[in-house]
Amino acid sequence: MTTISRCPVNEGAIPVLDDDPFSSEILENPLPFQERLLEAGPVAYLSKYNAYAIGRFDELSSALSNWQEFISGDGVSIRELEAPKGLLQTDPPMHDAPREVLQEILSARVLRKLRDDCMARAIALLDAHLNGFEVGAQVEIDGVKDIAAVLPVNFFPDASGIDEAGKDKFVDFADHNFNTAGPYNDLVKAGECKASELAQWMVQKCQRDALKPEGFGADIWAAADRGDILPDHAPLLASSLIAAGVDTTIYGISGLLYGLATNPDQWEKLKENPGLARVAFDEALRWSSPVQAMFRKTTTDVNIGGTIIPANSRVMMSYPAANRDPRRWENPDKFDLNRDPSGHLAFGRGVHQCVGQHAARLQAACLLELLIERVQSIELVGPVEYHHNNALRGWAAVPLRFTLC
């Protein structure tokens, strides 16, 4: 049960939430906690973890843009961790060169060239489930396992030039990485036994000789050869693409399918106007926020909306709360293709804003284009199942029925 009282360490100026945002109950349904966070104030103190949380849109946007006072270099977890530093765990100026390299490698221009390959894979995946049925036939399908989880573990690692042997382990590798953003709870303990083995396996796959001669991985090594980044950083940077880009995209597409299945009027709108596909994916990201939380550490006392977060505090950046903040979004709980969802924080903001967003967008765009072409209606035919992760809104199953056109 949550009480809103006053923070003992800040002369009573900050509301206190007693919730455990990493409890099974909240991971199963985080929306009530996020509402309490929004209502509590611009900042709340999470008494269970001696940490702070920012959920309101304006305050979160400015905190994410303020890398000088909200640093990532001491980790983006709620705990101090002795972990290897990926791109996300560095601050400028150390962050600048590798960021520039990845930004170029994963630019919209580069991704456009991969559209045909991505589309061919999307066609093959839908053919496998929908071919052989007549117009009007109804096909039952799992939106996660059969659709959302397929491209991110095939197209994307292949585009990175990473050998696909053992590709099922990409999801586990990334899952554990995201879990470590949270406290040392059962989710972290469950992944811990194979974590270092998986991390070594992944880095091994990202060594120069193990990578295919073409792909994002090879491009990263080419940047090391040019002296743009240190050679030691190349495998970590390449493996961070899998760590950051697989599960997030799976859950982004899962949330999109769930949003469309539970809002048939919005699906109809999309069928009538396929040009809304990009809006549909952005709106799904706003509405479902695949990344639920990352942390920063304050370097100094920081004034947020008139209250002070003390120096050296861990601060939760609650993207999902901001993405449903009624101060910013009209009818925030509605999945609505009439709105302009651009500016949502599902990809973050500031220097760490998602560098892989064009890769995620491409996969969603190919799937949506085909679904609009081949599917008349989408229904949810059973309860969805969530996959609990400390930092992600994970989906295990979204049972769907497609009526084909």
Cα–chain-centroid distance for residue 211?
25
Q: How far is CA 403 from CA 141, 271, 284, in A?
A: 11, 13, 22
Contact between 348 and ligand HEM (CB under 6 A)? yes
| One-character DSSP codes across 172-203 | HHHHHHHHTTS-S-HHHHHHHHHHHHHHHHHH
- Report the C-alpha gap between 177 and 188 in whole angstroms: 9
Contact between 47 and ligand HEM (CB under 6 A)? no
Smallest gap from residue 33 Cβ to ligand HEM (A):
18
Contact between 71 and ligand HEM (CB under 6 A)? no
Smallest gap from residue 253 Cβ to ligand HEM (A):
8
- Report the C-alpha gap between 58 and 62 in whole angstroms: 6
Lay out the site mask for ligand HEM across 233-272 (x = CB under 6 A, - = otherwise).
-------xx--xx--xx--x--------------------
* 65 contacts 350 by C-beta, under 8 angstroms: yes
Lay out the site mask for ligand HEM across 298-337 (x = CB under 6 A, - = otherwise).
---------------------x------------------
Within 274-303, which residues bind ligand HEM (CB under 6 A)? 285, 290-291, 294
- Report the C-alpha gap between 293 and 78 in whole angstroms: 10
Contact between 347 and ligand HEM (CB under 6 A)? yes
- Report the C-alpha gap between 249 and 235 in whole angstroms: 21
Query: Binding residues for ligand HEM, how many (CB under 6 A)?
Result: 26
Contact between 151 and ligand HEM (CB under 6 A)? no
Token reading at 180: 């470590």
Contact between 206 and ligand HEM (CB under 6 A)? no
Cα–chain-centroid distance for residue 16?
27
Smallest gap from residue 89 Cβ to ligand HEM (A):
8
Residues near ligand HEM (CB under 6 A) are 76, 87-88, 99, 106, 240-241, 244-245, 248-249, 252, 285, 290-291, 294, 319, 346-348, 352, 354-356, 359-360
